[in-house]
């Protein structure tokens, strides 16, 4: 059997197109189970004999709106739990970059933090124009270490990337398309039609020409990821131990302004 023992992902085929749907709480926030699923699914999809194109989307009103706050609390109270996910975090990034099959992100709603990283590491990103996207790691006291520092500068340049990564600001998909962060932002009613249009165009080309073109384009991204990911995860792991990290998460949960000390 294929795609067994996944807790937060669902799978469906239409011809040789495999749709992978992220399923979690109301906003598909990343918890330990989802993180494990994401660390292995893209390698398995690469070897799936029944698909040539992958569509990645979210269930309901969100794509994947960042980390689950209960999971954050666990990592703060027991930093070893954060240490244990470092390898998974790297596998998520590298398995996306190493996949030869084209992967299209159907961005149906909010994508934040790791959710945004996963979306941006897809090959073509098509979004509901009202969806929000951003990497607010810093707002919860973390370094943007799980791939944000890798992909954002490559898509929109260092100046814009540093602004968004250091402020943690979100933007609409319409704005993201205007600055080149994503490919297309369309009305919600047109999202499926636009995805189908791109899928049909890719599927109409010879399989190995498509796959290996992607492989060549991703060589430089893989090199950048190799240069950055170990340090990125290490800095993110260190930031999880800071006092301001604990306060930022508590303040968010309690819906108040954080009382930051600089520690």
Contact, 52 vs 16, CB < 8 A?
A: yes
Q: Position of tokens 């240069």? A: 227
Mean pLDDT of 12-40: 97
Mean pLDDT of 163-186: 98
- As given in the structure block, the two tokens for residue 164 are 């968004």
- pLDDT band of 1, cuts 50, 70, 90: low
Full set of structural domains in the chain with CATH:
9-193 (3.90.226.10)
Mean pLDDT of 235-241: 97
- pLDDT band of 84, cuts 50, 70, 90: confident
Can you point out the beta strands (E) in the chain?
9-14, 17-22, 53-58, 62-65, 103-107, 110-112, 124-128, 132-134, 170-172, 184-186
What is the Cα–Cα distance from 175 to 172, expressed in whole angstroms? 5
What is the Cα–Cα distance from 230 to 146, expressed in whole angstroms? 10
pTM higher than 0.75: yes
Which tens digit of pLDDT belongs to each residue from 193-210?
999 999 999 999 999 999
What is the DSSP-derived secondary structure letter of residue 137?
G
Output helix, strand, coil percentages for the chain, rounded to the nearest 5: 55, 15, 30
Mean pLDDT of 134-151: 97
């Amino acid at each position: 059997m294929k795609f067994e023992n996944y807790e937060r992902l669902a799978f469906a085929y239409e011809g040789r197109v495999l749709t992978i749907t992220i399923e979690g709480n109301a906003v598909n926030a990343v918890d330990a189970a989802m993180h494990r699923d994401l660390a292995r699914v893209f390698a398995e999809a690469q070897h799936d004999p029944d698909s040539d194109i992958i569509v990645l989307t979210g269930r309901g009103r969100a794509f994947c709106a960042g980390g689950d706050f209960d999971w954050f609390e666990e990592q703060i109270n027991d930093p070893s739990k954060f240490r244990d996910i470092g390898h998974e975090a790297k596998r998520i990034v590298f398995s996306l970059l190493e996949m030869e099959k084209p992967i299209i992100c159907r961005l149906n709603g909010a994508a934040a933090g790791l959710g945004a990283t996963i979306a941006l590491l897809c090959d073509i990103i098509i979004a509901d124009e009202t969806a929000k996207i951003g990497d607010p790691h810093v707002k919860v006291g973390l370094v943007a270490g799980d791939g944000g520092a890798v992909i954002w500068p490559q898509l929109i340049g260092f100046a814009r990337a540093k602004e968004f990564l250091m402020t943690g600001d979100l933007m609409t998909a319409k704005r993201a398309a205007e600055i080149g962060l994503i490919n297309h932002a369309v009305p919600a009613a047109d999202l499926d039609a636009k995805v189908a249009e791109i899928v049909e165009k890719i599927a109409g080309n010879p399989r190995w020409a498509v796959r290996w073109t992607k492989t060549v384009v991703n060589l430089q991204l893989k090199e950048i990821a190799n240069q950055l990911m170990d340090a990125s995860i290490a800095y993110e792991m260190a930031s999880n131990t800071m006092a301001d990290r604990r306060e930022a998460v508590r303040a968010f949960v309690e819906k108040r302004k954080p009382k930051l000390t600089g520690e």
